[in-house]
Structure 1
Amino acid sequence: MVRLRHLHLTDSHRVRFVAPPSPSSLIDLRTLWGVFLDEESPVKGGLNRLLSLRKLGLVCRLTFSQRVALSKWLPRLRHLESLRLRSIQESVQPSDLHLRTLSSLRNLSSIYLL
């Protein structure tokens, strides 16, 4: 999947993100949409290697350390144009999102946070 640019998944099903098999996999990915992140999903050392994203849509049920890793990774997505984040509890009720400033995302034109 070295050449893969766009990955669209339905967020009505929980398709979990797993770390790419090699550090060079998915590095040119432009769209990652509909992925579910939970306590088993690698944010640090996995998701945070993807820096070329332009569209990102995630459903999250994360531990504290994963939320910290996610909040450090998002401002590094300099090309990001569209961001959709849903944070849920195990009961699928909305949960707090803990984000740092997104002011470095100069290309961001669409944002949806729940």
Structure 2
Amino acid sequence: MRRALLGLLCVAALVSCSTDSGQDAEPAPALDYVALGDSGASGPLIPQSTGTAGCLQSDSNYPHVLAGLIGARSFVDVSCSGARSENIAAEAQSTNSGPIPLQIDALSEETDLVTMTIGGNDVDLVSRV
């Protein structure tokens, strides 16, 4: 009974925090967004393929979706399937289509938001059987 009451109070608190106060809020500023990472970000095999050849990026990967949701002023997706941590800032990534530049080179002084999804290949998260 206490848990149910506590749950209802939490829901009520969330609803009261999310209701419109009647004041017009200023829209959030448009952001310049850069996505870095491996296949967890690039979204290989998710239709439709886009981006750098050999990186298996999807135009429906989470960075593309996020860019649309936040109304990014500019968006650069340099995520690449097979990337390892060193491919972010230290070593060009080799792909079937040739070398991919360091991902960090996509950042500039104008960049406001960066997402980085990396590490699965470093620990062989998906290994061959």
- TM-score, length-normalised on structure 1? 0.27
Name the larger-Rg structure.
Answer: 2
- TM-score, length-normalised on structure 2? 0.25
More contact order relative to length (CA 8 Å, sep ≥ 6): 2
